Amino acid sequence: MSPRPPAPRPPFPAVAGRVSRPVDRASDWEAMYRAGEDRWDIGGPSPPLVAALGRGEVRPPGRALVPGCGRGHDVRLLAERGFDALGVDFAPRAVAGARALARAVGARGARFERRDLFRLPRTFDGAFDLVFEQTSFCAVHPDRRDAWARAMHRALRPGGLLLALFLVHPYEEGPPFGTSRAEVRHRFVASGLFRLEAARVPAESTPARQGKEWMAFLRRPPA
Ligand SMILES: C[S@@+](CC[C@H](N)C(=O)[O-])C[C@H]1O[C@@H](n2cnc3c(N)ncnc32)[C@H](O)[C@@H]1O
């Protein structure tokens, strides 16, 4: 029998390493919220998103989706700025916390649904003008990254914008699972799902994330 040919090497260096804890089920994340192990929560909206809105790089009106929204800080901000904003998260505590915070500050236009982002209903297809991503892509198992990209492509209307903050730090284990610019280009652009319109390392990242976030403006091609 001839030896099996080696598996083709991916066109990007492997950066996401060992899985330190399970991440595929809602109960995995619910347990982290219950234990107070939610250091990803910066207590407010993502500063690079605030800056992008301030510069007019992202403009309301429109429907905005935030996958893996946690306590919904970015959803509230997008709603305050005039978007019809929906956050989805599959951890019950995240959704309950997001709803409670939105009620407490009277955030109109911010809605939250408990959903698995890999099992969004057909009514979500092409329904959004904007997807804002931060710390959801790095939270899913690296094997599911193509599925993540397809899910966001599906949710956006043709011509819609995926504004994503990718964690480009090569952590050896996750979550959070790091990525690289080359991997993002491969999965999102070379796949034909999106066009990369612009990208930068945002100056506004929180101190702990300085230099580790890469902000990409990815456009679903118009029909
Ligand atoms: C690292 S936390 C970030 C939360 C929020 N984006 C923030 O910055 O505070 C990742 C979030 O994604 C959610 N999540 C992970 N996998 C998911 C999935 N398949 N469907 C929906 N939510 C998911 C988790 O429940 C968790 O709230």
- Residue by residue, DSSP assigns 37-80 as --TT--SS--HHHHHHHHTTSS--SSEEEEET-TT-HHHHHHHH
Q: What is the pLDDT of residue 172?
A: 74
pLDDT tens, position by position, 28-86: 999 999 999 999 999 999 999 999 999 999 999 999 999 999 999 999 999 999 999 99
pLDDT tens, position by position, 165-208: 999 987 778 899 999 999 999 999 999 999 999 999 999 999 99
The pLDDT > 70 percentage for the chain reads: 92
Q: Which residues contact ligand 1 via a Cβ below 6 A?
A: 29, 40-41, 68-71, 88-91, 94, 116-118, 134-136, 139-140
> β-strand 213-219 against 156-167: which pairing, if any?
antiparallel
Tokens of 93: 């505590």
- Ligand 1 midpoint to CA 84 (Å): 20
Minimum CA distance residue for ligand 1 atom 23 = 68
pLDDT at 2 over 80: no
Instruction: Of 141, 79, 48, 32, give the one whose Cα is nearest residue 87.
Output: 79
- Ligand 1 midpoint to CA 206 (Å): 19
3-state DSSP call for residue 12? coil
- Ligand 1 midpoint to CA 107 (Å): 21
Global confidence as pTM? 0.95
The domains of the chain, with CATH numbers, are 48-219 (3.40.50.150)
- From 23, 90, 133, give the residue whose CB has the most ligand 1 atoms within 8 Å, as the site to mutate: 90
Minimum CA distance residue for ligand 1 atom 16 = 140
Minimum CA distance residue for ligand 1 atom 12 = 68
Instruction: Of 120, 118, 121, 193, give the one whose Cα is nearest residue 158.
Output: 193
Q: Which atom from ligand 1 is nearest to the alpha carbon of 42?
A: 9
